[in-house]
Amino acid sequence: MAILIQFAIGLIFGVGLIVSGMSDPAKVLNFLDVGGIPAGTWDASLAFVMAGAVAVTFIGFNRVLRRGRPFFADRFYLPTRNDIDLRIVAGPAIFGIGWGLVGFCPGPALTAIGFGSVSAVIFVAAMFAGMVLARFVAHLPSLTRFVTPADPLET
């Protein structure tokens, strides 16, 4: 039963991405084109989508974390580290560069695959290759100072 509920939640998320236009890379790229040439290509509607998502998440997290445990697990799995290291800076930078270059982030790319988008398939393949590469790089001996036993990549 839990898997069906989780599937329904994912389906609602995907529909939300489609309705908001976030699965359309052109809309995302127009949002990022603040000082664009030609002038007038900036589309602010994505800012409202993001603001709505942040508001819902803020309220949702506050309510959910008041519960003793989540619905589908024995306990909450929350980050315990609060330091800033190379991976915390490099990961979002790589994400932002990729988002700015192609207009996809993981959720909308997976949604766009459902429409048969070739660019989404290429993006998702590159994303999975990047995930494999990140695991490999995290285990290199010269980077062991950045990997701790509590690191999620270790599990």
User: Any idea what DSSP says for residue 145?
Assistant: G
- 104, 29 in Cβ contact below 8 A? no
Q: Exposed, middle or buried by CB within 10 Å (0-12, 13-18, 19+), for 137?
A: middle
State the total domains in the chain.
Answer: 1
Q: What are the DSSP calls for 82-144, one per residue?
A: ----HHHHHHHHHHHHHHHHHS--HHHHHHHHTTT-HHHHHHHHHHHHHHHHHHHHHTSGGGG
Per-residue pLDDT of the chain (155 residues; tens, 9 = 90+): 888 998 998 899 888 888 888 888 888 888 887 776 656 678 888 889 889 989 999 999 889 889 888 888 888 888 888 888 887 888 889 888 888 888 888 888 888 888 888 988 999 999 899 889 888 877 777 644 555 555 555 54
The single residue listed with the structure tokens 């040439």 is 37
pLDDT digits (tens, 9 = 90+) for 32-45: 877 766 566 788 88
Using the Cα atoms of residue 77, residue 79, residue 81 and residue 82 in order, give the sign of their dihedral: negative
Give the model's pLDDT for residue 144: 47
Residue 119 to residues 25, 30, 58, 103: CA-CA distances in angstroms? Answer: 9, 17, 32, 10
- 144, 133 in Cβ contact below 8 A? no
Residue-number span of the structural domain to which 59 is assigned: 2-154
Give the model's pLDDT for residue 115: 82
Give the model's pLDDT for residue 151: 53
- 23, 111 in Cβ contact below 8 A? yes
Instruction: Give the pTM.
Output: 0.66
Give the model's pLDDT for residue 128: 92
Give the model's pLDDT for residue 124: 92
Nearest Cα neighbor of 29 from 48, 45, 43, 15 is: 43
Give the model's pLDDT for residue 86: 81
